[in-house]
Amino acid sequence: MDDIRFAVLGTGGIGRRTLEVSQHKDGLTAVAACDRNGVAIDHDGLDVDELLETTEGNIASGPQSSPDQLSGGEPRDSGLDGASDSTPATPTDDFASDGGAAAVEGGGGGVKQHGEQAGIVASEQGDPTETPIDDIIAESDAIDAVLLALPNLEHDFIPRVAERFAEADYEGVMVDVLKRSRVIGMLDNREEKLKESGITFVCGAGATPGFLTGAAALAAQSFVEVEEVEIWWGVGLKSGYEDNRGTVREDIAHLDGYDIETAREMSEDEIEALIDEHDGVLEFHDMEHADDVLLERAGICDAEDVHVGGVLDVRSDEKPTTTTVSVTGTTFDGETGTNTFELDDATSMEANVNGPALGYLKAGVRNNRAGHYGVFGPADLMPGF
Amino acid sequence: MDDIRFAVLGTGGIGRRTLEVSQHKDGLTAVAACDRNGVAIDHDGLDVDELLETTEGNIASGPQSSPDQLSGGEPRDSGLDGASDSTPATPTDDFASDGGAAAVEGGGGGVKQHGEQAGIVASEQGDPTETPIDDIIAESDAIDAVLLALPNLEHDFIPRVAERFAEADYEGVMVDVLKRSRVIGMLDNREEKLKESGITFVCGAGATPGFLTGAAALAAQSFVEVEEVEIWWGVGLKSGYEDNRGTVREDIAHLDGYDIETAREMSEDEIEALIDEHDGVLEFHDMEHADDVLLERAGICDAEDVHVGGVLDVRSDEKPTTTTVSVTGTTFDGETGTNTFELDDATSMEANVNGPALGYLKAGVRNNRAGHYGVFGPADLMPGF
């Protein structure tokens, strides 16, 4: 396969780690990255080391946002609907990094060129911009694939970003690492637009649902009928906590008594208090986590037969439980069995998100070049099970 | 994806079980099957139940062959080289079922229309023929995929069958379930011919290497460097023994002190004596089993870092050991870990061969329709890792 030139939207934990992992993979060249304040584009390939060094622990937008700033006024990305090209987005409208609560400057605060929370503009390669996504779209003719390492605290944020690329007639691959069932339907609703544009959209391509639904699709091959898929994950996130506050906030939305709206509106103090209350360890059951929808659409089993849960420990780097996928089914010869896939506890969440995300990105490019457009789940890209 | 019309060459254990499993899968229609004595073709779909019923325990060619009959005279498939279309093959030249030692009738014995070892001609749908493979080739315009459920006691038997389809300008998918490293190279040597014809050839698509190298390719996604892949399989084959004598003979070639030539020349009595000597349980280490070559070509690791072994018990249906794939590697953040994939002991060898074989067949068709021709390993068909 020819070289793949890719862009990363979002340089929080996931975006930066993806850039890092891509350096270990053949045939992948990072040519663009952006956060809410800036954009770095070099079609000959970014200097990833420099970019990572300058943005490490230095994410555009920080943990100090208040719920008012996040949710106040009109929706953060309201400018993205419809004719976004003719309505230049404001910084807060345009973007949210996954470095935690997004849009910290509320009504459009100033761009910091240096120091903490400057983000990508602290890099020599970064230029400040009020329209980072539009800036990437403007260069997208020379970009084969776009990884959306964005949080998705509004359900339709990622679908709407996809729509903007489609409106600009982008022909290429888009990959997200989302983990919320209902977003898949929102992408499906836009499938015609994506197809017309020539976009191959791979959704949920991170550790879970991506990696683990891929494993489930594979493990299901012993069976002619799958009765149940159990996905159970463990994440130790002590050293990665600051980089992944956005992800943690998304997880909180899956706790009993919380939903995406209440999680979005929590202040950082409230989140810290909640974590304290649980001694740093959050346990999740029956998460609405996209795995269900993605396995159903790949024909593996009914969504209702998929159960997802896990344990997150933000005060230790040790995994609090072993990540496993168990697929129970019936064989053609009438036996019932459970095949399992287990990740070593030593493999970090970051390793398990970014390797698969780039793998699915490559698979997306293969499909895109073969003319397969539309919305795909990771399990759809497995050998035609 | 549109309906896939497929043919099965060989109606021994693997061929028949594939036909059976295909009935549980959407979008697959069996339209042709053959063994060394006969062919059944119905472009509207075979009556698989009838075919299975009449050929169960009734394989064309039986266990009573002698080494002379197998190896005597000119090579069994000598007629397949070069212009096979103009040189009608004799029954013994044309075909070997996987129902045990092939070519039982030696110098071209008569076709039995009824009774034991009649094979496919015992079915209402079967017609006797001296050129079963050519008969299928003649109908191949209406066949999307061909599963080669043949034994491969001559290394180049399957590659040469592929060549015959290419010479007839077949455009479609061919899938085998072989398990021998050196055959991959023989297929690669013919890749240009296959590409010119429009053939997508998926090799080694059974349980191992197919299923388990797919799992290894997936499990490798946590790592930026894979240090070792260990594949360890267990097969309990008591009730499936008669149907799978060809496979057992192939396995014997992997035992210390044996090779493919000595295994091919063993009489059934000698095989029984060997099995007796081991109390029915054969243990294999460092098998030359194609998994190594297939993982290397997929870019997962070096062939020499792949180790394959296992235990076969022909006197019990219980697996003598649990089938596992262990992939050890280093993550981008410098940790070393081992991800594992484990098949339930209750899943039979047949279930684990035929589900994946049909899955890879579907993947092959997807690729073929996208214009991807040539030779592919199962792991090549995984998301572009």
* Chain A CB within 8 Å of residue B360 CB: yes
Interface test with B, best of A175, A226, A344, A348 (most B CBs within 10 A): A344
Residues in chain B within 8 Å Cβ distance of A333: 348, 350-351
CA–CA separation, A60 vs A122, rounded Å?
A: 10
Task: Output b/e per residue, A96-126; b: 16+ Cβ within 10 A.
Answer: bbbbbbbbbbeeeeebbeeeebbbbbbbebb
Contacts of B362 in chain A (CB under 8 A): 383-385
- Band (pLDDT 50/70/90 cuts) for residue B95 is low
Domain with CATH 3.40.50.720 in chain B: 4-207+351-381
| pLDDT computed for residue A117 by the predictor | 61
Structure confidence by residue, pLDDT tens digits, B33-59? 999 899 999 999 999 999 999 887 666
Query: Taking CB atoms and an 8 Å limit, are B351 and A222 in contact across chains?
Result: yes
Query: Is the dihedral angle over the CA atoms A114, A118, A124, A127 positive or is it negative?
Result: negative
CATH tag, B4-207+351-381: 3.40.50.720
Q: Which of B 250-309 lie inside 8 A of A, CB atoms?
A: 299
- Model confidence over B250-288: pLDDT tens digits? 889 889 899 888 998 999 999 999 999 999 999 999 988
Is CATH 1.10.1740.10 the right assignment for the domain spanning A4-206+351-381? no
Backbone phi and psi for residue B301, each to the nearest 5 degrees, phi listed first = -165, 175
Q: How far apart are CA A8 and CA A149, in angstroms?
A: 7
Cis status of the peptide bond prior to A209, with omega within 30 of 0 = yes
Query: How far is the alpha carbon of A366 from chain B, nearest alpha carbon, in Å?
Result: 8
Q: Supply the mean pLDDT for chain B.
A: 84
Percent of chain B scoring above 90 in pLDDT: 66
CB-based contact, A332 to chain B, within 8 Å: yes
Residue A6 near chain B (CB below 8 Å): no
CATH 3.40.50.720: which residues of chain A?
Answer: 4-206+351-381
The CA distance from B277 to the nearest CA of chain A, in Å, is 31
Note if A254 is an active site residue.
Answer: yes
pLDDT(B166) > 50 = yes
Query: Is position A155 annotated as part of the catalytic site?
Result: no
**Distance, in angstroms, between A367 CA and closest chain B CA?**
9
B220-226 average pLDDT score: 95
Mean pLDDT, chain A cut into blocks of 10 residues (385 residues total): 89 91 93 95 97 78 35 30 33 43 32 59 94 97 96 80 97 93 92 97 94 95 96 92 83 88 91 95 92 93 96 95 98 96 96 94 92 92 74
Residues of A in contact with B385 (CB under 8 A): 359, 362
For residues A251, A254, A259 and A265, what is the CA-based torsion angle, rounded to 10 degrees?
Answer: -20
ipTM at complex level: 0.85
Residues B286-312: pLDDT tens digits? 988 899 999 999 999 999 999 999 999
Whether A2 has its CB under 8 Å from any CB of chain B: the answer is no
